[in-house]
Structure formats: C-alpha cells, structure tokens
Structure 1
C-alpha cells in the first residue's frame, strides 16, 4: 500500500520529518479568498489562475507549475493508497481541506484510506510551532477520516455561499471533527452584512481609525494576535489596510 502526504503549503514541506515515509504533495491554493464556484473543475482552475494573477502579482505559468501540477497528483494517487491530510484548524487551511476532500469524492478512487493529521491542541493554527518529534507524534496519532460525501457537501455549501447548509453539515460532523464548526463560524463572522464589513475587516478598520499612524506591520501583528483562527496572510490583510487607510 502506497502512502501519500498532502501538505498545506511549503512551510511544512520544507521541514517535513525525514523519518516519515511516503510521497509528499504540496497544496498551494488559498480558497479563503477569490472565486469558489464554476461550471466545471477545469473552469474553476482557470478562474482561480486569473484571480491569483490579479491579486497576487503572479502569472498563469506560475499557477500551472506551482498549483495545478500538484493538484494533478491527487488524481494520480493509485487505488488502495493511504493519504495523510496535513491541514491546520484555521479557516484558511480548513477551506483548502474541504476542497481536497471534495476532489477526492469527485475522482472516486477505490479503497483510499484518508487520515487527518491535526496540530497539537496547544498550537491548533500552526505546525510551525511543532518540533520534529511532535510532528511525528501527531502523525502517529492521526485520525481516520470518514463520511467523504458529507465533506464534499461541506465544500459545495461553502462554494455556494449557503451558510444554512454549511452550519447543518458542520453540526453533523461535530462529534468527530469539532474544529470544523469553529472554522464555519469564523467564515460566517467574516461575511459583510448591513451593519458590518465583517469581523476581521471591522477590526482593521477600527484599529486604523483609532491609530492612524500605525504601520502595516503593526496592524498585521495585532490582527494575527487577535484572530489567528482565520489564518489570513499579509496579502489579505494588506488589502483591508490600504482600503481603510484611504478613509482616515
């Protein structure tokens, strides 16, 4: 039986324990942001490539080389394999996990065993705080992941913007995967409504309003300290910083 490790980003790839055998696949998308729904899987990747090009100053070739080629490896995983999913508990990582599980449901491999490898409770949003031995420890205590169709529906509800169904599915998964409900709650809290731009956006706006001379670095550090559960990187927060700076 072949073994695979799907790693959410290069940071973990660069320090992945040599003691753990198997082939690594690096997932480099960021489904916390940008288009989520298209008529087909292929069209979604085209839309994502265009979005990443515009928002992250990338190129279509870079997206193909860094993202699509790794995604293709998912389809090439043979039947009867073990797949370890290394995704942290924050919304950034969880939305990526939901997509990966939806993709596995689509390609319908036979007798694939899926395992979720979550961080230690002390560091739910960062493998970066784990030692080499701790990474091995959480692998040893990996959790078998089941109910694949339910996970696929979780992704589809997320992509559709159907928060009612999203909450219902998260509640169904709660007994075995309690962190999913927390990620769904974070997603709902960030959505704009008539009274708010969204929880993380409002924090940045109010911080700048109260302290207009703060640098982006200071705002970003304060944001990370306050809302690690979102997993937003500096690029996402920078957009809000620039937007609200103009209003001061």
Structure 2
C-alpha cells in the first residue's frame, strides 16, 4: 500500500478533512509567508523560523488560548513534510489566493533542493467548486466535497519545482524586477500563481496618499459609512478573493491606519480622521 502524506493549507481545512475518509497521514501548514519579513532564500531554515516566530509574536501577541508553540505548530509540521523519502506521495492542498500560493511556492522551492527519489509530489489546487457560489477556500468544503477532489490530484514536475524556486527567491528578496521577469514566462500546473504574484505586486504600489492597495481598500470601506472594526473586517473578508488574509491581519492593518491618523474610532465605530 502506498504511503501518502496530505499537506493541508490550515486547520480550517483539517476539520472537514478528518471526516473525508481518505488514505494517508495529514500534516497542517500554519505559516503565513505572504505577510511579514523573510530572509534570503538560501538562508538556513532555522534562521527563517526564528525571524518568523519573533515577528508573529510582535505582530499578533501571545494568544492565551493557544498552548502550542511556534516550534510545535509550524516547525515540527514542516519537519514532517520535508522528508519525502518517507512517502510515496505528498499531496499539497492549497487554493488560489496569495496566502496559499506563496506557502505552496515555499514548500516546492524547498523540495527543489533535494533528491525526491521515488516520491511523487502532487497538488490539489482550485479556485472554485460547483455548488459553492462564494468559494474562497478549501476550509469551506464538507468532508464529501474534499474527498471528491482527491482523484483530481495532479503530479508536479521538475518544471514547477524550478519555477517555485525562482518565485520564492524573488519574493523572499522583495525583488520586483525578478518577480516581473518570472511573470513573463509560463507557470505550468501552478496555474494560480501568476495572478497571486500580480496581486502581490499590486499591493506594493503606494497611492498618492501614501497608502498601500490594501490600506486604501480598507479606507474606502470606512469612508462609505461608519462601521465597527469587526464590521470592516467582515466586509473586507467577504469581498476579497485574492489575498487570503485572516481577520487578525486585517485588524492589524486597521490599527496601523489609526496609528497613522488616517482613521479614528468614535463611539465604537471607525471614521476617517478630519
């Protein structure tokens, strides 16, 4: 019997996946490499994990309801994933948005460095699902719906791994020129990566008011009508289909807009500063 490892894009997917009845073991990817500082792609993983752990603690604080450490939730899971000789197949379940595509690119870039032997890398990557009109991610799907995607898992080739290595090197270095060069070529079976990278390039652009694309989107929501921070977060999340950020990230964007005195809170609602 083939030994299979399913790499899921987060805990939201894992809840339903546990009931899907699919063969194999499960590892959960919990990092959010689309946000925050990174190191040069050739730096050792230990240095990257330390940088990320420190940033996440600074950005989001220690969550009292989460007893597990970064080492347990992220590093230990990566160590399980990054040993292909243990498995006949490693199936990566990542959807179309920037959040997932950059995490996928990182993992594939790491696999590109080592000899895979007889291990076959596959992906399940979608941007829609029949019967789910407002599809945003795999975490929305039921166990049966996830199981129906399993036969669609497609092998990834050396081309995709080499492409991912180039993407990750450029992304980690914030090299816009290199990213644009990658954008001019083909993407093979990484069919959602181009749009995700374009979204990243778009958010790097700063408007005449000195704000980034995401900051301006949030400011527009505030300008439309006074709303509570939670309402703004919910409205942004309900309309976004490309960045894949969570509520904590959007809350921090709003906090930075308050710190910049672009918006302010009045009577529990956010309004544009005078």
How does the TM-score come out when normalised to structure 1? 0.90
Higher helix share: 1
Larger radius of gyration: 2
- Determine the structure 2 residue equivalent to 1:203: 217
Unaligned stretches of 5+ residues in structure 1: none
Contact residue 4 and residue 87 of structure 2 kept, 8 A:
no
* Residue equivalent to 2:12: 11
Q: Deviations over 1:47-96 (max 9, x none)?
A: 11111111121389711111111111123332562110000111111111
Match of 2:178 in 1: 165
Matches within 5 A, 1:1-248: 1-16=2-17, 17-38=19-40, 39-58=43-62, 62-78=69-85, 81-119=88-126, 121-122=128-129, 125-146=136-157, 147=159, 148-193=161-206, 195=208, 196-211=210-225, 213-245=226-258, 246-247=261-262, 248=273
In structure 1, distance between residues paired with 2:142 and 2:111: 30
Q: Is the 8 A contact 1:7 1:13 kept in 2?
A: yes
1:143 shift after superposition: 1.8
> 1:137 offset after TM fit, Å?
1.7
TM-score, length basis structure 2: 0.82
Does the CA-based 8 Å contact 2:207-2:213 persist in structure 1? no
Give the Cα–Cα distance (whole angstroms) in 2 for the partners of residues 101 and 170 of structure 1.
17
In the aligned structure 1, how far is the partner of 2:122 from the partner of 2:106? 15
C-alpha distance in 2 between matches for 1:144 and 1:152: 17
Taking a change above 3 Å as real, the CA distance of residues 33 and 95 of structure 1, as seen in their structure-2 partners, is same
Compared with structure 1, are the counterparts of its residues 53 and 108 closer, same or farther at alpha carbon in structure 2 (3 Å cutoff)? farther
Q: Which runs of 5+ in 2 are unaligned?
A: 263-272
1:158-201 Cα offsets, whole Å, 9 max, x none, are 11112332233344333533311110111111114363522221
Q: Aligned pair in 2 of structure 1 residues 170, 140: CA closer, same or farther (>3 Å)?
A: farther
- Which deviations, in whole Å up to 9, do the C-alpha atoms of 1:192-236 show, x marking residues without a partner? 43635222211112322443x311121112212332210011111
Structure 2 Cα separation of the partners of residues 45 and 95 of structure 1: 16
State the Cα RMSD in Å: 2.2
Q: Which is worse superposed, 202-211 or 151-160? A: 202-211
Q: Classify 1:199/1:226 alpha carbon distance in 2 versus 1 (closer, same or farther; 3 Å).
A: farther
